[in-house]
Structure 1
Amino acid sequence: MKIAKFLIVLILLTSCSKKTEHPYTFYYWKTKLSLELEEKKALNEVTTPYLYTRFFDIDKVNGRFEPVAVITKDPSFQTDKQIVPTVFITNPTFLNISMDEIQFLAKHVNDLIQKKITQYHLKVNQEIQIDCDWTAGTRDDYFNFLKELKKISGKEINCTLRLHQVKDKMQMGIPPVTKVYLMCYSTSSPLETSDKNSILDVNILKSYLSKLENYPIKKIDVALPIYSWGIVTNHLGKHKLINALSDKDLKNPNFKKISDHESEILKDGFYFGSYLNKGFKIKVEQVTSEQRNDVISFLDKKISQFNIIYYQLDSKFVSNQNFNLTSQFQGDF
């Protein structure tokens, strides 16, 4: 009898356990389109047909809209993936902007995207993604820009969504798009003194997204971090970022380990392309597969099926990574 009861409980637990697999791809965020061997290998293994590729940034310089760091292309950039043109626009671009300027900006953004597609013979899909950390003060003008870009381009216009824009959705507004890309990183500033991981603190993320299931836009894909960096702190407490550092980079006889992810420099010299003085401290921030899995399991309880876009496709970050992450959690009886 006891064995029978045990088997019934085991069957119930197994049947209520939900395992979810998430198709994935990458963001490509380099100014020069090129693919190294490790990057080609990682891209060939993705499970969606898309590559989200940054084309250029837009900023306002001396009152004028300026494209910044427009892409160029190397012959090594060959892929059968469909390119999703992605444009980053600074929030100040939308400060004190008129409707005429919004229409002007939308036209020129679309024109430059189309120029690069034609120039480099890129195979694209019918979507443009806009990345902007809009605020309550710029939301209306930014949303008007998204509408104008859709009208001018004839494409599906979607946008990124940051954590604070979910938490404070009443103040931040809901963008006029059918799909958003939830950026599950940059949970705090790396240039502030803190013991938290500024790339991804899972507890902070969960607090910001505690009501995500109530967000009005239901088509949500998820951007997860695979990048890392080092935060250098000088004698005055000023901080500087060095890209792509990991814990193994701190294994140096001129460094003294002072915590699991932090070392102090013992000798002046050039390190990682910068001249650093004795007494400076370097803290490495990176994200583990376990942390990403924790985020995925949390999101599976909040939103329906979603794809993952890892930031970013770079040989420094794609080696020895597990991208086919799944979540498994117990459902309610």
Structure 2
Amino acid sequence: MKRLFPLLPALVLLFGCKQPNPHSVTPAFYYWKQSWDTTRATQAAIRQLPATKLYIKLFDLAPVPGQGPLPVAVLNTRAPLPENLEIVPVVFLMNEIWAKPDTALPSKVANLVADLCSNIPAARIREIQVDCDWTQTTKAAYFSFLEQIRRQPFFKNRQLSATVRLYQLKYADRAGIPPVDRGLLMCYNMGNMRQAGRHNSILDIATLQSYLGTHTISRYSLPLDVALPLFEWQILFRQGTVYEGIVRQVKLDDNSVFAETGDGLYTVKKDTLLEGYSLRTNDVIRREFVDIATLKQAARLLARQLPPENRTVIYYHLDSLILRNYPLNELQEIIRILN
């Protein structure tokens, strides 16, 4: 008769070791323009990434003097939304609207969201997202709004998510945690864009590390999806020091106007009127852009703390011109890092 006892160690290992829970990462894009229109490049990006969710901003809610919060920049759909994609409607709420709370606001917002989504099959909308840069002083009004809007008919039986900035993550004890089903961690716009000099306010690895620490994500009580930046901007500083704002469509490769001084800084060589902007000698334009290597570094930092669970990784944002700078195979690699 064969002895069975030698099998015991193997059985203990087989049944005693906890198997890792299977999980997956869903690739997605944000669409943040006021008019929905597609190009071959954006269609290819959706198909080849492949993205299975599309987060589309429907409107902003802004304070209007004498009238209270009103919707602005309402989405205009010039073309049909992509088929076979889950659509996540997004509403951006300016933090200033909480100065005078409106008890009817949740129903007004919910009704407008429902109206703008009336042509989308209900089964394709499983989640609705609210984006607000709330603070310690506005959290009570904002969180109350979230609690009320999720009881509105269009929001029932759908997940409600809210964006979470890095400082809201790190200082959750003061900022509070929104009463929603999921958070969306925004891993961009983490620096002071008004500060002159050689830095990147969109995404800086040292700044990201300072917010994340070693256990910040794992201690946060909401499950988190992640958003990473695919965008750039150019910021004008008068005489190199005074913040003037974002400038658009200025070609920095014009050597007759600009002298590149490194680290994304371009000094104006002569007084010039360019694309409607009055540029003066010694003004400085800082071009901020996040390259693939930096995105991968950020993904690795996040992956150290993110628990093994299903999540969405969203690229901000879907734009044919910007996508030229980001090969799809590299974006796919970042998704794998975060899996």
Instruction: Please report the TM-score for the alignment, with normalisation by the length of structure 1.
Output: 0.83
Q: Which blocks of at least 5 consecutive residues in structure 2 are unaligned?
A: 1-22
CA RMSD of aligned residues (A): 2.4
Structure 1 residues 137 and 260, CA, compared in 2 at 3 Å: closer, same or farther?
A: closer
The alpha carbon displacement at 1:136 in A equals 0.8
Asked whether the equivalents of residues 313 and 335 of structure 2 are also in contact (C-alpha less than 8 Å), the reply is no
Q: Which amino acid aligns with 1:312?
A: H
Q: Which blocks of at least 5 consecutive residues in structure 1 are unaligned?
A: 1-19
Structure 1 residues 312 and 327, CA, compared in 2 at 3 Å: closer, same or farther?
A: closer
Comparing 107-116 and 317-326, the one that deviates more: 317-326
Q: Distance in 1 between matches of 2:325 and 2:201?
A: 23
* Aligned residue pairs, count: 302
The alpha carbon displacement at 1:52 in A equals 0.2
Q: Distance in 2 between matches of 1:264 and 1:188?
A: 22
Q: 1:16 is matched with which residue?
A: none
Q: Distance in 2 between matches of 1:121 and 1:34?
A: 19
Q: 2:148 is matched with which residue?
A: 148
Q: 1:13 is matched with which residue?
A: none
Q: Distance in 2 between matches of 1:234 and 1:126?
A: 47
Q: Are positions 1:315 and 2:320 aligned together?
A: yes
**How many percent identity over aligned positions?**
29
Asked whether the equivalents of residues 84 and 125 of structure 1 are also in contact (C-alpha less than 8 Å), the reply is yes
Q: Distance in 1 between matches of 2:233 and 2:143?
A: 33
The alpha carbon displacement at 1:298 in A equals 1.0
Q: Distance in 2 between matches of 1:267 and 1:36?
A: 38
* Pairing 1:119-158 to 2, within 5 Å after superposition: 124-152=124-152, 153-154=155-156, 155-158=158-161
Q: Which amino acid aligns with 1:65?
A: P
Alpha-carbon displacement from aligned partner over 1:169-190 (angstroms, at most 9, x marks no partner): 1111111112100000111121
Alpha-carbon displacement from aligned partner over 1:204-232 (angstroms, at most 9, x marks no partner): 11111212211111x21101011011111
Q: 1:297 is matched with which residue?
A: 300
Q: 2:332 is matched with which residue?
A: 324
Q: Which amino acid aligns with 1:213?
A: S
Instruction: Please report the TM-score for the alignment, with normalisation by the length of structure 2.
Output: 0.82
Q: Distance in 1 between matches of 2:238 and 2:123?
A: 46
Q: Distance in 2 between matches of 1:259 and 1:319?
A: 22
Asked whether the equivalents of residues 29 and 51 of structure 2 are also in contact (C-alpha less than 8 Å), the reply is no
Asked whether the equivalents of residues 30 and 318 of structure 2 are also in contact (C-alpha less than 8 Å), the reply is yes
Q: Looking at CA atoms only, which structure, 1 or 2, has the larger radius of gyration?
A: 2
Q: Distance in 2 between matches of 1:205 and 1:257?
A: 27
* Pairing 1:26-175 to 2, within 5 Å after superposition: 26-63=29-66, 64-75=68-79, 77-97=81-101, 101-102=102-103, 104-118=104-118, 124-152=124-152, 153-154=155-156, 155-175=158-178
Comparing 225-234 and 276-285, the one that deviates more: 276-285
Q: Distance in 1 between matches of 2:124 and 2:269?
A: 51
